Amino acid sequence: MKIRVSRSDSTLVGCVRGAVLLGVIGLVSGCASTGKHVQGWDKVVLSPGDTGNCNSSPCMVYLKMPPGQGSYEVTGNEVRIGTYPAGQTAFLGSFWSSQGIQIKGMNVPQTYVYIPVQR
């Protein structure tokens, strides 16, 4: 059995394929990191926008605070970690699970650190 496809149907299929491709490109570019990728065994030192992988659990996490005046609150997974001075490298703590780190009050991208779950 043959299925006949008219010219207008094939044009529609081409348009749908193009729209899907543009959507996929948009999603992938939206997930792209704005910083660098950092690896570490038992610690990582991150800057705003970085993505880090720590190969041990717990993992010591340090954050290079951007220059500025005063101190800023830092959160991990939307939970307060502490307040740290601008322009310094802050020890945020040892973590057993992955964290999305944000500096409140500074217009900088979120930082991510992936920490393996060990049982």
Write out the DSSP string of 13-61: HHHHHHHHHHHHHHHHHHHS-SS-EEEESSEEEE-TT-EEEESSSSEEE
Residues of the chain within CATH 2.60.40 domain(s) are: 37-114
Note the pLDDT of residue 63.
Answer: 98
* Predicted pLDDT at 105: 93
**Residue type present at position 32:** A
Q: What's the pLDDT score for residue 117?
A: 85
The class (CATH top level) of 37-114 is mainly beta
Q: How is residue 110 written in tokens?
A: 């979120």
- The predicted pLDDT at position 115 comes to 95
pLDDT of 35: 83
Rg (CA), the chain: 22
What's the average model confidence in pLDDT over 36-60?
A: 95
**Interval 8-40: pLDDT, tens:** 544 544 444 444 333 333 333 344 446 899 999
* Residue 37 · residue 50 · CB < 8 Å: yes
- Our measurement of the distance from residue 106's CA atom to the centroid of its chain's CA atoms, rounded to an integer in Å, reads 17
Q: Which of 102, 115, 104, 100 is nearest to 44 (CA)?
A: 115
Per-residue pLDDT tens over the stretch 58-79: 999 999 999 999 999 999 999 9
Question: Is the alpha carbon torsion for 66, 72, 78, 79 positive or negative?
Answer: positive
